[in-house]
Amino acid sequence: MLLSIDIFYPQKKYIPKNIQNPFTKYSSLAIIDLYQMIQFVGKVEPMDKILPIIKKSFLFNDIADDEIVDLLARDGVSLVNVSAGEDVQNGNTHALFVVIDGEANVLKTHEEGNTMFVSVLGSAEILGAASLFSDEHETATKVVAKRKMLLLRIKENTFKLMLKQNAKLFDNYMRYLTERLRFLVGRMELLGVGSASSKLLSYIVENATDNAVTLKRSYSSLATTLGISRATLYRAFDELEAQGKITRKGKTINLTDISHE
């Protein structure tokens, strides 16, 4: 079960006397509620430990410590504890997450129904940045915790206020979106330009699991997706087989050589 507690407050909260305030050397306004953290996490996570991890994320690059603390000292910022095997975002597409501790697998399910491993997210990495400010309620990928994780969660409306408050944070976020857009344009060009056989091979590589894919759609539907005719699709299959790049058995396609341009 995904659990969370608000950890940053603009007003002072009760802190046990035997525990030193972790925010003291950063800001007199932002004080973490250590009492709740001890109950929730099971151990003290002082700001001296959390802040260096947050600073490593690209979003907070070149932002001073006191500015980061000031940005996070508001409602809508919380710590989230996720158990192994759970969906990290848990359907929450309107929040940004920073990994504090733990790792997660990023998985993508393609049109053919195959689930493919994409990458691993670790400490200081971000997830959810691309789905903010969108009306979509589903994410392009699923992020599953490999082991127990601790994450910093920033709600969408809170992040919007943070962007307005700090120009450097705004620049960092825009840089991320720009790089993301360039990547996606490159992928679109790969599918939209070139021969029918190159489009087909790119589609197969994208959807393959263990160098194989079983088509669960009609050839007419696949041809429409690739922007080619059905007859051209058949010729593309024949060309790829003749080049030794694929083998076919029914609707199962095996990749034999994926060193294509």
Three-state DSSP at 94 gives coil
Residue with more model confidence, 189 or 60: 60
Identify the CA nearest to 210 among candidates 254, 259, 240: 254
In a domain, 189, yes or no: no
Tell whether 30 and 110 lie within a shared domain: yes
DSSP code of 109?
E
Tell whether 42 and 146 lie within a shared domain: yes
pLDDT in tens, 78-132: 888 899 999 988 777 789 999 999 999 888 776 556 666 777 899 999 998 877 8
Cβ neighbours of 110 (radius 10 Å): 14
Cβ neighbours of 35 (radius 10 Å): 13
Tell whether 156 and 250 lie within a shared domain: no
In a domain, 188, yes or no: no
Q: Are 155 and 92 in contact (CB under 8 A)?
A: no
Tell whether 151 and 28 lie within a shared domain: yes
Q: Are 71 and 162 in contact (CB under 8 A)?
A: yes
CATH number at residue 210: 1.10.10.10
Residue with more model confidence, 32 or 63: 63
Q: How many domains does the chain have?
A: 2
Tell whether 105 and 159 lie within a shared domain: yes
